[in-house]
Structure 1
Amino acid sequence: MYDFVVVGAGPAGARFARRASEAGYDVLALEQGRVGEPLACSGHVSTDIWEFTGDGARDELLQNEVFGARFHVGGPHSNAHEFYKREVVSNVIDRVGLDRHLADLAREAGADLREQHTVTGVEEHRDRVEVTARGPDGVETHEGKMVVGADGPRSRVRQALGLPEPGELLHGVLGFSDEPDPQDFVDVHLTAPRFFAWRIPRDESGVEYGLACPPGEQVNELFDELVAGYDVDIVRRCSGLIPIGPPGVVTTRRGLLVGDAAAQTKPFTGGGILYGMTCADHAVRTVDPDDPRTLADYESAWRDDLASEIRLGHWIRKAYSLPEPVQTLGLSTLSGEIGVHMDRPTSLFSTDQLKAFLR
């Protein structure tokens, strides 16, 4: 019997598998397809990403360094309001490569990580869980002391355990052009209903375009309008769901959720790579597979760390739906040098931000 059966080997699942294996636990991780495929997530992350990777990852995965963002209330040719730092704000990375790198670290730590294993059933018992999966060699059933659901916005584990859904699911679209662009600013457009669109230069790797908004909106048509405004050809396109708003509980007697399955994401950007891996670390640190009572410690730990960030993130997102004149006034007033951290909206009230604002 495994200590943990992890369903999903994206950043949060691979991170949990690695850290739990390093802590001496016996871990099985099951990934539905090939790790990192299909791509459905942006590769724009904070520089904190390198705290979660192994040696040489930066040289292997880094595509561009970003110093700031241009915010537009309208399309590509509208007036831009620049926000910047004097040092690198964020990095653009090879997103598929990141997933594979993190999965390799989990394997090196001792986790039994199996690709092309689709989980078809999860049964929770008083003293164990049974996870059934369909793999290349047929149907397999594995027993574990606990199951970890790291299987994304439409989590099968979450459904099987009867845990509540995220507050909402946004529909995101990504497209890539092959135009080389060494710029060190991203562009953000507050034109998508209740969210935004973006353009991220990836140096010689091309440019990423994206847009997200609530289901029911014409997301593909809005994305086509964005791309047409830049007059570029999209050579590759993909889409996915973005969970926003974690439910009130993400654990049961023998199960827990991490990452997108638990909607551990930033409400104002939809990004969840760093939040998900941070929560995976909290889970490994607090949960004892032989003592289900410790799951309550995980619930407390990750919420104590991120609840304020998520709550403030919701308020920031509300600004995306303000009337255009109000948005323009606010952006004009606040633009310039900043001291905030892109993963921590509470840094808006930091000494660094105050100093930058006064400058």
Structure 2
Amino acid sequence: MYDFAVVGVGPAGARFARRAAEAGYDVVAFEKGEVGTPLACSGHVSDDIWGYVPDEAREELLQNEVYGARFRVGGPDSTPYPFYKEERVSNVIDRVELDRTLADCAREAGADVREGHTVTGVDERDDRVVLEVKKADRVGGGTETVEARMVAGCDGPVSRVRRAVGLPEPEEKLHGVLAFDRTPDGGDFVDVHLTAPTFFAWRIPRGEAGVEYGLAAPPGVEVNDMFDALTDAYDVETDHFCSGAIPVGPPETVTTDRVFLIGDAAAQTKPFTGGGIRYGMAAADAAAETIDPADPATLDDYESAWRDELAREIRLGKLIRKCYSLPEPVQRLGLRALSGEIGVHMDRPSSFFSRTHLRRLLR
């Protein structure tokens, strides 16, 4: 019997598998397809990402560096309101290769990472969790039963683990889409359009890899039509279209007696961007540091630890998102007043109130 079984080997699952294996636990991790595919989200991340990967991975992962963002209330021809730093604000990375790099780190730490394995059943018992796992034909086919003292559900916004054990859903799920124009663009500003209901659309230059276009909106909005309008406005043709759910708002609990959720499955995401790479890996670290698979009571410690780390940022992120729904004249007034050099961290809304940022505003 394993100490931990991890369902889903995205950033959160791979990070937890690595940290738990480094702590000496016996870890198995299941990914239903190939790690990193299909692409499900953007690769626009803060400098914090480099603390989670080996130093030598940076050159292979990095596609472009970003120094600011142009916010617009309308389309590409509308007035831009620039927010920028003199130093790098963020990075554009190869999102698929990030997942593969993190999975390799987990393997090197001793975790048994199995691709082509789909968890189809989760049976939580008093002293263990029994998983039913279907193997893809390319890895031998058939099914197997795997037992673990605890299970980490890291299987994304539409989590099978979450449903199987009856944990509550995220507060909401947005519908996100993105695609790529392969024309190289080394620009150092992203474009953010406050044109999607309660959220936004974006354009991210990815260096030699081209340009990413995307948007997200609540259920019921015709996001495909809005995406077509966005790319038509930029007069580009895109390929590799991706679509998926973006969970926003963690539920009151993400644990049972022997199961815990991490990452998108727990809606550990930024409400104002939908990004969850850094938040999910921070929660994975909290889980590895607090959970003892032989002691279910330590799951309460995990609940406290990840919320101590992220709850304030998530709460402030919700306030920022409310600004996306303000009347357009108010949005323009606010963007005009606040635009210019900033002192904020893209993963930490609390940095908006930092001394560095307030000094720059006063300038």
Give me the TM-score of the superposition, normalised by structure 1: 0.99
Give 1:108's aligned amino acid.
Answer: E
Alignment partner, residue 202 of structure 1: 206
Alignment partner, residue 327 of structure 2: 323
Cα separation, 2, equivalents of 1:236 and 1:38:
10
Cα separation, 1, equivalents of 2:215 and 2:281:
24
Alignment partner, residue 168 of structure 1: 172
Give 1:45's aligned amino acid.
Answer: V
Q: 1:149-298 alignment to 2 at 5 Å?
A: 149-298=153-302
Cα separation, 2, equivalents of 1:157 and 1:40:
19
Cα separation, 2, equivalents of 1:58 and 1:295:
34
Give 1:207's aligned amino acid.
Answer: V
The structural deviation recorded for 1:161 is 0.9
Alignment partner, residue 6 of structure 1: 6
The structural deviation recorded for 1:357 is 1.3
Give 1:105's aligned amino acid.
Answer: C
Cα separation, 2, equivalents of 1:329 and 1:356:
18
Tell me the secondary structure at the aligned position of residue 205 of structure 1.
Answer: coil
Give 1:254's aligned amino acid.
Answer: R
1:139 to 137, 143, 146: 143
Tell me the secondary structure at the aligned position of residue 292 of structure 1.
Answer: coil
Q: 1:106, 1:113 within 8 Å by CA — same for their partners in 2?
A: yes
Cα separation, 2, equivalents of 1:30 and 1:305:
27
Alignment partner, residue 123 of structure 1: 123
Cα separation, 2, equivalents of 1:40 and 1:174:
9
Tell me the secondary structure at the aligned position of residue 65 of structure 2.
Answer: strand
Tell me the secondary structure at the aligned position of residue 170 of structure 2.
Answer: coil
Cα separation, 2, equivalents of 1:238 and 1:16:
26
Alignment partner, residue 88 of structure 2: 88
The structural deviation recorded for 1:204 is 1.0
Cα separation, 2, equivalents of 1:191 and 1:182:
25
CA offsets per residue over residues 216-241 of structure 1, 9 Å max, x none?
00100000000000001112211111
Alignment partner, residue 75 of structure 1: 75
Cα separation, 1, equivalents of 2:45 and 2:244:
18
Alignment partner, residue 49 of structure 1: 49
Alignment partner, residue 65 of structure 1: 65
Alignment partner, residue 15 of structure 1: 15
Tell me the secondary structure at the aligned position of residue 86 of structure 1.
Answer: coil
Can you give the 5+ residue segments of structure 1 that lack an aligned partner in the other structure? none
Cα separation, 1, equivalents of 2:84 and 2:299:
40
Kindly report structure 1 stretches of 4+ aligned residues shifted beyond 6 Å. Answer: none
CA offsets per residue over residues 149-180 of structure 1, 9 Å max, x none?
00000101001111000000100000100111
Give 2:231's aligned amino acid.
Answer: V
Cα separation, 2, equivalents of 1:201 and 1:311:
29
Cα separation, 1, equivalents of 2:297 and 2:242:
41
Alignment partner, residue 356 of structure 2: 352
Tell me the secondary structure at the aligned position of residue 310 of structure 1.
Answer: helix
The structural deviation recorded for 1:358 is 2.2
Q: 1:31-50 alignment to 2 at 5 Å?
A: 31-50=31-50
The structural deviation recorded for 1:356 is 1.6
Alignment partner, residue 340 of structure 2: 336
Give me the TM-score of the superposition, normalised by structure 2: 0.98
Alignment partner, residue 314 of structure 1: 318
The structural deviation recorded for 1:57 is 1.1
Comparing 228-237 with 15-24, greater Cα deviation is found at: 228-237
CA offsets per residue over residues 55-85 of structure 1, 9 Å max, x none?
3111010000000000000001000000001
Give 2:156's aligned amino acid.
Answer: G
Q: 1:177, 1:236 within 8 Å by CA — same for their partners in 2?
A: no
RMSD, aligned α-carbons: 0.6
The structural deviation recorded for 1:290 is 0.4
